[in-house]
Amino acid sequence: MGIIGGDTAFIVGAKAYFNKSFSMDLNLNSIRYYRQAFIEVIHGVLIEIDMVNQKKLSMDEYISMISLKTGALIEKSLLIGTSYAKLENEYIPHFSTYGVNLGIIFQIIDDILGTFGDEKVTGKPTDGDIREGKHTCLLIEAMNNLEVKKKERLVKLMSNSEMNEEDVKEVRDLFMEADAINSSKKLASKYYEEASDALEKLKPVVNESEIEFFENLLKFVLERKF
């Protein structure tokens, strides 16, 4: 059902590019971004699914995955806008950097909220990622920071497909001991700074009110609680 829904959504979205309000050249350029976003998001999701089966994962691999899964969607949405606005080519990479980094920040914070968020605020359970054995930024940071015996314990817990509440709590405790939340927030802040720098470079061609909107959006995503 999900596959059929996704295929249908892609076709319905593509139909918008044949709207005669814009020239065919602009529509064709934009549909290239649309198609590429679809490909990259699917690629990212497939990588994420496969990651559950990998015993070892680096932060670089994780960032690469979320750049595709989440970053590409935001990036290509912005680039479609730059295409219709006929933005000068020299400024397009800055929108690209902003979009990808915004997606990275969103996903890192999503990982944190997915384990340590307030369920009443997020509307989602906080044990899902742990029970599914997902390779979140919290898990990677914990594996980088814990001593050997505790790493082995964490691997064993995350490999258990039938975790009980005590197991989930122990995983959370190991994340806390490894200071995984703060490490992940620092990582998100790094990409926040890069996105802010990209916005600074867009000031010659983007209105002040629009820059302010993008700055506020960036801050909201970094500080969100839901």
Q: What is the pLDDT of residues 78-106, one digit of tens each?
A: 999 999 999 999 999 999 999 999 999 99
Mean pLDDT over each residue of the chain, to the nearest integer: 94
Q: Measured between alpha carbons, how far is residue 122 from residues 69, 81, 117, 131 in Å?
A: 20, 30, 7, 18
pLDDT over 70 at 1, yes or no = no
pLDDT at 172: 99
- The answer on pLDDT for 179 being more than 90 is yes
Residue 20: predicted pLDDT: 61
Break the chain into its structural domains and give their ranges.
2-223
Summarize the confidence of residues 47-67 as an average pLDDT. 93
In CATH terms, the superfamily for domain 2-223 is Farnesyl Diphosphate Synthase (1.10.600.10)
The beta-carbon contacts of 166-171 under 8 Å, at least 24 apart in sequence, are 168/127, 168/130, 168/131, 171/130
> pLDDT tens for residues 5-37?
777 887 787 777 766 677 878 888 899 999 999
Segment 193-214 mean pLDDT: 98
pLDDT-derived band at 218, boundaries 50, 70, 90: very high
Average pLDDT score over residue span 160-176: 97
Q: How far is the CA of 54 from the CAs of 69, 70, 112, 199, in angstroms?
A: 18, 21, 21, 36
pLDDT (tens digit, 9 = 90+) per residue, 117-127?
999 999 999 99
Whether 2 has a pLDDT exceeding 70, the answer reads no
Q: How wide is the angle at C-alpha 40 spanned by C-alphas 34 and 45, nearest 5°?
A: 130
Counting Cα atoms < 13 Å in the Cβ hemisphere of 61 gives 14
pTM over the 0.85 mark: yes
What pLDDT does 197 receive?
Answer: 99
In this predicted structure, the answer to whether residue 187 has a pLDDT above a threshold of 80 is: yes
- Rounded distance, CA 90 to CA 99, Å? 16
> What is the percentage of the chain residues whose pLDDT exceeds 90?
85
224 contact partners, CB below 8 Å, separation of at least 6: 109, 113
**Residue 93 three-state SS:** helix
> For residue 179, what are the contacts with CB-CB under 8 A and spacing of at least 6?
141, 145
